[in-house]
Amino acid sequence: MRIVITGAAGFIGSHLSETLLDRGHAVVGIDNLLTGDLGNIAHLRDRDFQFIRHDVTRHIDVDGAVDFVLHWASPASPIDYLELPIQTMKVGSLGTHNALGLAKAKKAGFMIASTSEIYGDPLEHPQKESYWGNVNPIGPRGVYDEAKRFSEALTLAYHRYHGVNTKIVRIFNTYGPRMRLRDGRAVPAFMSQALRNEDVTVFGDGTQTRSFCYVTDLVDGILRLMLSDTNEPVNIGNPHEVTIEQIARTIIKLVGSSSRIVYRPLPVDDPKQRRPDITRARTMLGWEPKVGLEEGLLKTVDYFKAKVAAAT
């Protein structure tokens, strides 16, 4: 197949591009590099990979046949969407509209990268796809939450009205190589601090929970969903739930760091718990994660060691 990936120079987009190439497909990567990094895809240039630097909030034009459009373009960490609120809303609305328009014009399939953030600070635990969420639409995180909720609605509108073969993947916390040092999310923040023997900053009292999925497991789930018959949203994430303090202490131990944990006030609307119900992924896709937390963290530490060394 020939597959277009928006946000191809980002963390997950670059891993998707690489895996699709490994499976024999051609990839057209689109990114405006607002939060993406050409270094993530530099090793793909000699393969069947075409890169287009473009802002997907403007009309998307790709020459030739396209079999699938994977819409991954968006700021995706709290630091990014708090600094780039309008761009986040635009890529979730205008960008999704343009990516869907490309899929419709090319008679291609389409997948939107949605997120566990559409559940907000959930009152249901674990979170099933049938849960509508508990979201503050006007809070500081609302720009990301509502952009993704809108993009899901628009995606299904194109499916129902235009007959586009659409997929919705709701991604839970994911980690692995190619995350940025100053990403703002827990794993890269804790690793970069621990590797420098700095204080490791935990927001709140550390009892809030997350479920961390290694990136190769996520990509496997995404590609299974792409090839499936379902048009319903599907959670892809690791149901193994840990507290933020536990993940911080695990990383400090793995790194062999002398860092100590310091506590800071919890950000507004920060979810207190997060764990996917992956029954739908198991039954419809035959998918479940395979990489254990410590195994994945060890692979990620090696990458961050090199990044920290390069930055010093």
Supply the pLDDT for residue 311: 80
Structural domains of the chain in order of their starting residue, each with its CATH number: 2-172+215-236 (3.40.50.720), 175-210+240-270+291-306 (3.90.25.10)
Per-residue pLDDT tens digits for 275-296? 999 999 999 999 999 999 999 9
Q: Whole-number mean pLDDT of the chain?
A: 95
Per-residue pLDDT tens digits for 21-34? 999 999 999 999 99
- Residue 10's φ and ψ, nearest 5 degrees, are -85, 180
Per-residue pLDDT tens digits for 22-68? 999 999 999 999 999 999 999 999 999 999 999 999 999 999 999 99
Distance separating the N- and C-terminal Cα atoms of the chain: 42
Lowest pLDDT segment from 33-42, 73-82, 142-151? 73-82
Distances in whole angstroms, Cα of residue 112 to Cα of each of 22, 170, 257, 293: 22, 9, 39, 26
Per-residue pLDDT tens digits for 237-282? 999 999 999 999 999 999 999 999 999 998 887 888 899 999 999 9
Q: Is 214 a catalytic residue?
A: no
Q: Which amino acid is located at 69 in the chain? A: V
What is the dihedral sign for C-alpha 234, 238, 240, 242? negative
Q: Which of 96, 109, 299, 91 is nearest to 222 (CA)?
A: 109
- Residue with more model confidence, 95 or 265: 95
User: Would you say residue 215 has pLDDT above 80?
Assistant: yes
Distances in whole angstroms, Cα of residue 190 to Cα of each of 51, 115, 185, 193, 302: 32, 22, 8, 5, 14
Q: How far apart are CA 53 and CA 183, in angstroms?
A: 22
Q: Which amino acid is located at 265 in the chain? A: P
Q: Which of 81, 119, 144, 158 is catalytic?
A: 144
